[in-house]
Structure 1
Amino acid sequence: MGRAEERRARQRGGRRTAPQGRRPSGAADRTGIRRLFTWKKIVGTFFGLCLLGMGAFIVLYMMIDIPEGNAEAELQSNVYKYSDGSIMARDGERNREIVDLAEIPKDVQRTFVAAENKTFYKDSGVDIKGTARGVLNTLTGKGKQGGSTITQQYVKNYYLTQDQTVTRKLKELVISLKLDREKSKDYILAGYINTSFYGRGAYGIQAAAQAYYRVDAEDLTVEQGAYLAALLQAPNQYDWAIASEAGKDLVQERWNYVLDNMVEQKWLDRAERQGMEFPVPEEPRPATGMEGQTGYLVEAANTALKQQLVAQGAAEDMKQADAMLDLGGYTVTLNIDKKKQAALEKAVKTQLTDKLDPEEREVDADVQAGAVSVDPKTGAVVAMYGGVDYVKHYTNNATRDDYQPASTFKPVILAAAVEEGAETQDGRPITANTLYDGTSERPVVDDGRKVGFAPENEDDRNYGDITVQTAMNKSVNSVFAQMGVDVGMEKVMETAGRLGMDAEDLQAVPAQTLGSMGASPLEMAGVYATLDNHGKKTTPTIIKSVEHRSRTVTVPDAIGEQVISRETADTVTSVLTGVVDDGTARAAVLDNPLRDGQQVAGKTGTSDDNLSAWFTGFTPDLVTSVGLFGEDDEPPHKQVEMYGAGGEPRVNGGGFPAQIWAAYTFGVMEETSEFDLETTQGAAVRPPSTPPPSQSPSQSPSQEPTTEAPTSEAPSQTPSQQPTTQPPSQTPTSQPPTNLPSGSPTFEIPENPGDPDQDRNQQE
């Protein structure tokens, strides 16, 4: 190569020109790839695929016609049965009245457009991006479509099914395009408003207007129309009568969104919008045939069925599950035992409602009862009491979770302590025999520092130094508040979740030791059923089986994995026997003539300001949670105090709730049974009728609680003194504390608890 050639090569990047007839290594491969992937071929392939897709769509468009509406023709009733197969109820009659769009105020019509599809009057009836996203999500198994226009939603409701398949989505797209070309926007909007499901069994705007506001559709205000339009997104979640606080916040946000969109579209004057207030709906009026407890049972079964339809992928969400259920054709067999159901209703009547007299005492009209009874071995809900009458009191008191469970939460704290092997502030294991300071309003401490929480005991009573067993028997707040901090509130709330409480979003703060969260009788029955089932997760299940001619619905197993150890569950059960034999439930349960020696465990609870009172108790074969709730008889039905109800100064868990529990449980009991407990912490048995020599006469069970350790041996069995647990596998021992830090709030049992001179530190 000459100098000139070399210079030109350097100018081209320093590469020498290969001799003629030779190629650099790999050049042939690169040339082949370039030939295969030229930009012309890529562009051509892209346009080819586009043309192919367009051709396929044209074929679909030509092949698919607008079908006849078929939803109405396939409507059926749903049948509900007791566990023995006998008919409980039939439901499913469609509640709908078609109205012309002209009968609906123009502003109310626009609320639906503002809520669902602001471009409705301008678009071609489809949302290509939303539909493509829906098809992709279906193919990848991600579920929800989202983004459908009003036209598409109407097509799905009236012409197609609720199935989530690619074929159905493509049909929806084609039919929507054709419908938009062949029918007016008013026709489509009228169809959408008249076929949509609004909750409360109402289909169509006329039925919804009556169900929520007791007016005809033509008399709806803009505010009311905006609520009904907002409701379509989630009828079950947004129904004001049954919505949680979070649900109420969400529907109000949605309501504001609708009205703000109307202002944006210049359909509503901004000044008028600013003066609008949220229109709280009227209380529901249930369908006939749902009187008494039947409506509560059907409602609970429907909720469980819809949740399962969503869980197994048959429905995208609860809104779609609502629509599927209302199409009918389901035969739902409940776990409800007809005899036990009747017995529970009778127990509430004889032990509570017959003793209430609203004419004599106004507060008696404010007392609501709810109860759930569960078989701990199967999880079956065998009986449920939802309220005085479904057509008179719509809210199901058995499943509502807006009242505090109060001291029925205390066993959860003890379970966490035992399960975690927790220790007191000074490093000693927490057992049934550990001593705590039961002084009312004693500040709770953590690592020597006060945490700013000093709960008052009931009636501000001071107990001094008492065992955990006695603290559970007497429901001493100060003891369990300190125990919760000793264990760690995060561990306590984690244990609550494992046992079956909805504790995921609850704050792990000492105040929760008083049961200050919301809970339902159904939820608490599940917690105690798990304890009764030796720590295996037991989820209360109301549905036994579901049959449908074209759909298979499975019922999940109610018995799950071991969530706490058997020894932990059995230890808590052992301690809870003391509540009924020497504690707050003694009067209602221990001396009940129907008991016949039956072993019983349970816990009472009474919330602040006497807003609620509870007793959740169990035998080896049956768990029942009974709650009484103070609810104002007049709208908006706020929580109110129950002081004086039934002629009692205060409604306590050991009163009406425990009496209902005992009348029901002992009434359905076929034979007596004993707990099979594995625990090393002793048995919480009823103390002797006369005090031992080391006790002073004033330390009887009816007086101030003692620091005596629970006996580890069961007394002789007589019909009136049946032991409440099996004897422990070993006798618990305790040593006197040594080197206790000053100010420690917890204590071990002293060597001589009857010696008044025994040195005992106390938390100030």
Structure 2
Amino acid sequence: MSVQELEPDTPEPEAGRWAKVRQWVLIGLAAAILIPGIAFIIGWFVIDVDTPQQIAAKQGQGVTLMYNDGVTELGKITGKPRTIVGSGDIAQSMRDAAMAAEDPTFLSNRGFDPLGVVRAVAGQLGLVDQSGGSGITQQYIKVATASDAPTITRKFVEIVSAAKMTSVATKDEIITGYLNTIYFGRDAYGVQEAAKAYFGHSAKELTPSESALLAGLIQQPSSGNTLPNEVSVERFKYVQAQLNKNNLMSQADRAGLKFPENIQPFLGSGSGPNQYIKNQVNDELANGDTGGIGAATISAKGYKVVTTIDKGAQDRAIEAAREIMANQPANLRSALVATDPRTGGVLAYYGGERNNERFLDYASRAQPPGSTFKPFALTAALKNNISPNRTYTGLPQVFPGYAPGVEVQNAGTPTCSRCSLWEGIRQSINTVFIDMVTKGDVTPPQIADAAHEAGIPEKFTSDGKTVKTLQGADGVTNAGIALGEYTVTPKDMANAFGSFVNDGKRNDVHFIAKIIDDKGTDMWHFEAKNKPVFDEANAQNNTDIARTVTRAMEAVVPYSGARLANNRPAAAKSGTVQGAEGMAPNENTQAWFVGYTPQVSTAVWVGADDPKSNGPIALKGNFPCRSSNSVEAHDIYGADEPACIWKSFLNGYLAGKPMDRFLPATKFFGGGGNNNGDDTFTNAPRPTSVTLIPPTTTSGGEDPDPSTTNKPCIPGINCPKPPTSKPPTTEPSDPPTRPGPPTFPGGGGGGGGGTPRSNEE
């Protein structure tokens, strides 16, 4: 039998391979067209679109806020009625500005911009940076469908609904409905409410500049709460450019468009202290990371916001403030913020009674903190491995290289001529910290870094500019930072001090704990980060820094007469600010008491201001917090009304709660030192203070630089020396019950003698 030889396989011709490739490409393209097309057709018949009236009604349901127990209702936000106006009642300039800012092709597109959609989908797939890609009709649909989630499914629903709406409604009806429903900030839903909230008149009366401002706020509504600021100014400029680019405004008109004047914000329709909480939650929903769930979704779907606010803490905060502030001068203001150090959640928030004519939230208003900032200077020293037993001068003197020829003073007489950092904190001795800084042991930027690490924000917006905190307008941080020269808010101080009690771990301050549906299921919840901040590389050193600062501030509490009931462990620091424009340099204007127990960190601020000028005035009080300063119309220091509010709040809130204690540090920084054995704590309630410089006029007749107005200074350094007067007779406010800072073996410096004098704020 013959065997037929098999021929080897011959390779497929090149043309055949390319034919198959083309075939599969065509199949893929067909699928890419047919599948979305079929889905689009199905969606067209399945997806319904609400009318503008239905959309507005859904928004009007409001957002329900709960206390942190998830059961007790705190209140509602964004539920006030709004006015639906017709096309003829909206200024054409507003319609033009909205189209220019949000959807330049609105008048010609079919409800969506294909290129914008492609960019958005690519962003969802991680191919490019995420961007919205939604035009006016899609944004309108997003409100109607109550979906803020950044998903491809939501985007598909938007596209189908937008196309469907465009086929059944005119462009005029769509833009009118859109402007009647979107959020503009200041609790204003719809353009009519926005025109009233920002300018005090109707939407029909909006000018081109006012329209440009409102159109710019559509993407950043919370930036409208305080105008102007960097975001609102940049958005205003963007709208100007877009109007000109799309031939809706001439170059000449664009050049003449100025940022408009606006009325004082009235944030929210409610009254009373809790309204400030609602405003904070509203801003957090607009700006915070809540899993893409915004106010529109919460309102339409009936979700609830469980806040971090503890009802017991909030009630006690209001009671404590009202108790101490009753029968006080009418111009006296106060604020209290309490946070949970383990999470950064705000437990109590009192920004004032919210019945003064300006509706200012003092809990979030930046003020110079005075000597309450000295713990951050101690933190910077510990980070440099400087022992808290290292001594510096307690005597007034001229420091070489700092304010040449000017003597730095203390407001009282310290009990030591060479004073340790322990005593510098306890007695609030200015010269100790200026001596430390001018010697180069700690630099001013290092103090700023320590404060930022603890939780003081690194920047904020002011007059349309990004301003870095804890430095001057020239970008320089000077030694006055150790004495509280730069402004901070009570909210941020409470959170930053919480990083000390939380063993050097920081959490972001926040008001929203979670968002739940009508069955109580979590739709989103906050996750605490507990980030080590003072030494990320060495966890134990990070902990020891925080615990050592706590140990130093424990001594301040009895020294200030603020010991809590049953000797509950607490650590705190007081501060007082003096002087302002048109005032004597030794007149107090603001006073602070900031501190914590192991469970809660609390900042209290008391100030006085003139509603007409917005500026501070002399701080006088009537509540007899201390027997040494109990007369009516007494000068208020940190150890007076602020300490009383702090003490009353914590005693009430913590009554019946476990008596937790602070844990000790395991490390002796810098090798220690025994401060010559002088570690006995004595009481001396006379405050140390920081003074504000009256503004000066520049040479050439120009207005003073706003960055120097009300700038704090150190008595005897860079502000007028107060007139010489005999200090009032004082007495100990509370006898000591525990020893001073621990004595560590090693170096150290001599203690001083002298008669104990009041030197605490």
Pick the aligned partner of 1:472 from 425, 429, 450: 425
Q: How far off is 1:59 after superposition?
A: 2.4
Q: CA 1:271–1:531 in 2, change beyond 3 Å: closer, same or farther?
A: same
User: Of the two structures, which has the highest relative contact order with CA contacts closer than 8 Å and spacing of 6 or more?
Assistant: 2
1:557-636 superposed matches below 5 A: 557-558=527-528, 560=530, 562-564=532-534, 565-582=542-559, 586=560, 588-589=561-562, 595=565, 597-607=567-577, 609=579, 612-629=590-607, 631-634=609-612
Q: CA 1:49–1:461 in 2, change beyond 3 Å: closer, same or farther?
A: farther
How many residue pairs align between the two structures? 646
1:225-304 superposed matches below 5 A: 225-236=211-222, 238-241=223-226, 248-288=229-269, 290-304=270-284
Pick the aligned partner of 1:343 from 296, 309, 316: 316
Q: CA 1:439–1:197 in 2, change beyond 3 Å: closer, same or farther?
A: same
Q: How far off is 1:192 after superposition?
A: 1.6
Q: How far off is 1:456 after superposition?
A: 4.9
**Cα distance in 1 for residues equivalent to 2:565 and 2:606:** 23
8 A contact 1:356–1:645 mirrored in 2? yes
Does structure 1 residue 687 correspond to structure 2 residue 681? yes
**Cα distance in 1 for residues equivalent to 2:495 and 2:649:** 18
Percent identical: 26
Show the counterpart of 2:655.
670
Does structure 1 residue 331 correspond to structure 2 residue 335? no
Does structure 1 residue 199 correspond to structure 2 residue 173? no
**Cα distance in 1 for residues equivalent to 2:323 and 2:16:** 89
1:121-520 superposed matches below 5 A: 121-140=107-126, 144-158=130-144, 161-236=147-222, 238-241=223-226, 248-288=229-269, 290-304=270-284, 310-311=289-290, 313-315=291-293, 321-327=294-300, 329-357=302-330, 364=331, 367-376=332-341, 381-389=346-354, 393-400=358-365, 402-422=366-386, 430-436=387-393, 438-439=395-396, 442-443=399-400, 456-457=408-409, 465-484=418-437, 485-489=440-444, 491-503=446-458, 506=469, 509-511=477-479, 512-520=481-489
Q: CA 1:454–1:348 in 2, change beyond 3 Å: closer, same or farther?
A: farther
Q: Deviations over 1:535-580 (max 9, x none)?
A: 3446555445542138734433547255453432232222223333
Q: Which stretches in structure 2 are left out of the alignment for 5+ residues?
A: 1-8, 460-467, 535-541, 580-587, 623-631, 689-732, 755-761
Task: Give 3-state SS (helix, strand or coil) of 2:500's partner.
Answer: helix
Q: How far off is 1:387 after superposition?
A: 1.1
Show the counterpart of 2:744.
732
Task: Give 3-state SS (helix, strand or coil) of 2:441's partner.
Answer: helix
8 A contact 1:409–1:514 mirrored in 2? yes
Q: How far off is 1:251 after superposition?
A: 0.9
Normalised to the residue count of structure 2, the TM-score between the two structures is 0.74
8 A contact 2:308–2:345 mirrored in 1? yes
Q: CA 1:208–1:539 in 2, change beyond 3 Å: closer, same or farther?
A: closer
Q: CA 1:266–1:353 in 2, change beyond 3 Å: closer, same or farther?
A: farther
Q: CA 1:545–1:133 in 2, change beyond 3 Å: closer, same or farther?
A: closer
Q: Deviations over 1:617-656 (max 9, x none)?
A: 234444321023455524xx74535455777675432333
Q: CA 1:160–1:670 in 2, change beyond 3 Å: closer, same or farther?
A: closer
Q: Deviations over 1:116-146 (max 9, x none)?
A: 2223233343221110111122233978433
2:200 maps to a residue whose letter is R
Show the counterpart of 2:6.
none
Q: CA 1:162–1:469 in 2, change beyond 3 Å: closer, same or farther?
A: closer
Task: Give 3-state SS (helix, strand or coil) of 1:203's partner.
Answer: coil
Normalised to the residue count of structure 1, the TM-score between the two structures is 0.73
Task: Give 3-state SS (helix, strand or coil) of 1:112's partner.
Answer: helix
Q: CA 1:749–1:491 in 2, change beyond 3 Å: closer, same or farther?
A: same
Task: Give 3-state SS (helix, strand or coil) of 1:486's partner.
Answer: coil
1:500 maps to a residue whose letter is G
**Cα distance in 2 for residues equivalent to 1:151 and 1:378:** 40
Q: How far off is 1:226 after superposition?
A: 1.5
Q: How far off is 1:106 after superposition?
A: 1.8
Q: CA 1:545–1:166 in 2, change beyond 3 Å: closer, same or farther?
A: closer
**Cα distance in 2 for residues equivalent to 1:607 and 1:36:** 87
**Cα distance in 2 for residues equivalent to 1:355 and 1:281:** 33
Q: Deviations over 1:47-100 (max 9, x none)?
A: 554344333343234333262316456554433334554333244525322211
**Cα distance in 1 for residues equivalent to 2:741 and 2:112:** 72
**Cα distance in 1 for residues equivalent to 2:685 and 2:592:** 22
Q: Which stretches in structure 1 are left out of the alignment for 5+ residues?
A: 1-27, 316-320, 358-363, 423-429, 445-449, 690-699, 705-718, 736-747, 756-764
Q: CA 1:667–1:701 in 2, change beyond 3 Å: closer, same or farther?
A: closer
Detail structure 1 runs of 4+ shifted over 6 Å in the superposition: 450-455, 460-463, 682-685, 700-704
Q: CA 1:102–1:41 in 2, change beyond 3 Å: closer, same or farther?
A: farther
Pick the aligned partner of 1:53 from 32, 37, 50: 32
**Cα distance in 2 for residues equivalent to 1:753 and 1:458:** 15
